[in-house]
Structures are given as structure tokens and as C-alpha cells.
Amino acid sequence: MKRPVHIFAALGFTSMVGQVLLTIRPEAIEVGANGFNSVAAQILSYSYRGLVGTYDAGVNGVRLQVVMPPHRHLRPGESVVLHLPRERLCLLPAI
């Protein structure tokens, strides 16, 4: 049975083995709650990049970059829930 990976203290990044770096590609982050690994965020900015829109989202003082198709438009200041799929997360030892 697989155990769910929770966002470590809402992106505080402390695990049972010490400090870790949680990484995920911007295009892997999904907007909308989807079970585990969902965090509340606020849209900070938006940039149109042709085939994609790039958003900066704030989560507890951490800035995440989110890439989505341009037809989905979120406004700066808007509150959203971000889902970080477990299979797309990578944990690295903090240096």
C-alpha cells in the first residue's frame, strides 16, 4: 500500500531525515484540489508566452511557477488551490 506524500508543513520542507528540497516541473502543477498534495496559493503575476501562460503563485512565502494553456486565465490576487501530483515530485537532500 502506498502512503500519500503530504506537502511538508505546507512547503516548510522538513522530513524525518532532515532538510530536503522538494522539486516539481512548472507544467506538472495543476490548478484545483485533487486529494493529497494540495495547497492554497495566491496568483502573484501572469505572463503570456504564446502556447502557454506562466503564473507565479505564492504559497506561505514560497514562489512557485505554474505553466498552463493560455485559455485558462487567472488574475493576480486570485486565490487558488494547487495540486502537486505525487508521481511528479522529486525530493533532494538540502545542501
DSSP for 62-76?
Answer: EEEEEEE-TTS---T
- Any idea how long the chain is? 95
Rounded CA gap, 57 and 47, in Å? 12
79-83 and 62-68: which strand pairing? unpaired
Rounded CA gap, 57 and 40, in Å? 10
Q: With respect to residue 68, please indicate whether it lies within any of the assigned structural domains.
A: yes
Q: With respect to residue 51, please indicate whether it lies within any of the assigned structural domains.
A: yes
Q: With respect to residue 18, please indicate whether it lies within any of the assigned structural domains.
A: no
DSSP state of 4: P
Could you report the per-residue pLDDT of 22-55, keeping only the tens digit for each? 889 999 999 987 778 899 999 999 998 888 999 9
Domains contained in the chain, number: 1
Q: Indicate if the pLDDT at residue 67 is higher than 90.
A: yes
Q: With respect to residue 56, please indicate whether it lies within any of the assigned structural domains.
A: yes
Q: With respect to residue 61, please indicate whether it lies within any of the assigned structural domains.
A: yes
Domain of 38 in residue numbering reads as 26-84
Predicted TM-score (pTM) of the model is 0.75
- Whether residue 52 contacts residue 46, with contact meaning beta carbons closer than 8 Å, is answered with no
Q: Indicate if the pLDDT at residue 10 is higher than 60.
A: no
Q: With respect to residue 49, please indicate whether it lies within any of the assigned structural domains.
A: yes
CATH number of domain containing 39:
2.40.50.140
